[in-house]
């Protein structure tokens, strides 16, 4: 028997019971749609993490001020001003360390004209932009002389600009941070969300000296909350970590056996852990979605078994006029295949549409890849053949007389 009449017979058989055909396909549609959507969400998350890592800069440490215990009172790291700009300069002298950016963070209200916006203000040195791999989209960064003179200059993040200036060009304008006027020297290029979901564009940068002396009025001269340190290379990171710890203990005159009054964290390692987690999670999402594909396949098998039973007499008639085993088997296999492939096509469509919807509603990156669509499609076709085979074989093995006599 050739494919032409088989296809038209399959169409007839499926058309005879449209609702059932649709419901069977629905299982497949949902399965494939879920797989594609989950893969898209997972891929989006992975892309996001990869991009964040790339934009963050490489081979980074964070050195936080304070330790787990300080003078018997447990305090969170970064809350005790034990690190200084001098520490940063000393660290930078280490052979394994490439650059150090000391940071004093705080929060302040920024006012321009009638608008005001609360944001995080970071006291930094010009090194910061380089170490964090941040760029300006307009204007110029402040330099070391601005830091030395504690100049009242600032670089604004995108979100801040949007809320204070709207369409106006902020470069060269003066804003008020806290109680003092600051000259806007430049705008930071938009970076989007950080890995932990914070808006990285909602920030203003000022010279660290300005932050220490004027804005936050720190009680300890020259203190910083934390530093971002870039090691010379990925290979040098373990050595750099040891060197830094040693140097800082020496500078802070810590006795042997005393706890560190700072902590060093390998940021790159932390982030690759995040990337690993995302990868595992997206794999798990796909696996869970695959289960619905499996359920869809079982639905096809179920309905094909019902169909074989219902059409036992028809099978007998076909046998009586000369249908061979393979004719019968192929006929039912083809029906199962059509159910799964058509269901799958619609499922691909639904999955892509769903992924786009998710990306529009949840504002997260969702990436549909051709390979995920192809994979879902192949799996669906495989599921159709796999779950269609048993019913088809059952039909093909019926004894002609038993099938004919079936009521």
Binding residues for another protein (CB under 8 A):
1-2, 4-5, 12-13, 16, 313-314, 317-327, 399-401, 404
What distance separates the 2 farthest-apart alpha carbons in the chain?
103
- Closest among 352, 335, 341 to 378, alpha carbons compared: 341
> Tokens in use for 394?
């059952």
Nearer to another protein, 260 or 312 (CB): 312
In terms of DSSP bridges, do strands 97-112 and 115-124 run parallel, antiparallel, or are they unpaired? antiparallel
| Cβ proximity to another protein, 14 vs 187, nearer residue | 14
**What are the Cα distances from residue 142, in Å, to 111, 123, 152, 295, 326?**
20, 12, 10, 61, 80
DSSP bridge pairs for 99: 230
The answer to whether the beta carbons of residues 346 and 34 sit under 8 Å apart is no
Q: CB-side exposure of 51: number of CA atoms within 13 Å?
A: 11
CA distances in angstroms from 285 to 108, 230, 368, listed in the order given: 41, 35, 14
Nearest CB to another protein, comparing residues 130 and 327: 327
DSSP string, 32-79: HHHHHHHHHHHHHHHHHHHHHHHHH-SSEEEEEES-SEETTEE--TTS
- What SS3 class is residue 195? coil
In the complex, minimum distance from the CB of residue 402 to another protein, in angstroms, rounded to a whole number: 9
Neighbours of 149 (CB within 10 A): 12
First to last CA, the chain: 27
* Least CB distance to another protein at residue 315 (A): 11
Q: Which of 372, 383, 193 is nearest to 282 (CA)?
A: 372
CA distance 279 to 385: 31
Query: DSSP 3-state assignment of 202?
Result: coil
* CB of residue 353 to another protein, shortest distance in Å: 35
Q: Which is nearer to another protein, 127 or 311 (CB)?
A: 311
Q: How many CB atoms lie within 10 A of CB 399?
A: 10
Rounded Cα–Cα distance for residues 224 and 212 (Å): 8
DSSP string, 76-137: -TTSS--EEHHHHHHHHTSTTEEEEEEEEEEEEEEEETTEEEEEEEEEE-THHHHHHT--EE
What is the helix (H) or strand (E) element at residue 292, kind and residue range? helix 267-310
| Nearest distance in Å: CB 401, another protein | 4
């Amino acid at each position: 028997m050739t494919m032409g009449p088989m296809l038209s017979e399959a169409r007839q058989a499926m058309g005879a019971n449209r609702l059932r055909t649709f419901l069977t396909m629905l299982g497949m549609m949902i399965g494939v749609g879920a797989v594609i959507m989950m893969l898209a969400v997972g891929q989006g998350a992975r892309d996001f993490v990869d991009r964040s890592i790339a934009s963050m800069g490489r081979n980074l440490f964070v050195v936080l001020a304070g330790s787990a215990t300080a003078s018997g009172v447990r305090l969170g790291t970064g809350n005790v001003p034990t690190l200084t700009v001098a520490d940063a300069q000393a660290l930078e002298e280490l052979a394994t360390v490439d650059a150090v950016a000391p940071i004093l963070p705080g929060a302040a209200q920024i006012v321009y004209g009638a608008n005001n916006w609360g944001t995080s203000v970071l006291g930094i040195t010009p090194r910061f932009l380089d170490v964090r791999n941040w760029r300006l989209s307009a204007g110029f960064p402040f330099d070391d002389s601005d830091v030395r003179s504690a100049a009242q200059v600032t670089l604004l993040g995108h979100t801040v600009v949007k809320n204070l200036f709207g369409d106006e060009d902020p470069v060269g304008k003066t804003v008020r941070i806290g109680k003092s006027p600051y000259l806007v020297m430049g705008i930071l290029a938009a970076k989007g969300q950080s890995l932990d979901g914070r808006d990285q564009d909602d920030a203003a940068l000022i010279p660290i000296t300005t932050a220490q002396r004027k804005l936050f009025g720190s009680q300890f001269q020259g203190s910083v909350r934390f530093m971002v340190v870039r090691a010379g290379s990925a290979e040098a990171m373990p050595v750099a970590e040891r060197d830094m710890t040693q140097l800082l203990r020496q500078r802070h005159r810590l006795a042997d056996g005393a706890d560190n009054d700072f902590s060093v964290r390998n940021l790159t390692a932390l982030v690759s852990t995040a990337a690993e987690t995302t990868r595992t999670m997206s794999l798990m999402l796909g696996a869970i979605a695959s289960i619905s594909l499996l359920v869809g396949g079982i639905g096809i098998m179920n309905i094909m078994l019902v169909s074989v039973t219902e059409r036992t007499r028809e099978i007998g008639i076909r046998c009586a006029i000369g249908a061979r085993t393979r004719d019968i088997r192929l006929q039912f296999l083809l029906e199962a295949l059509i159910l799964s492939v058509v269901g799958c096509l619609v499922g691909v469509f639904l999955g892509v549409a769903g992924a786009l919807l998710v990306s529009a509603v949840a504002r997260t990156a969702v990436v549909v890849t051709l390979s995920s669509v192809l994979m879902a499609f192949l799996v669906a076709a495989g599921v159709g053949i796999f779950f269609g085979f048993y019913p088809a074989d059952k039909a093909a093995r019926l004894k002609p007389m038993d099938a004919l006599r079936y009521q």
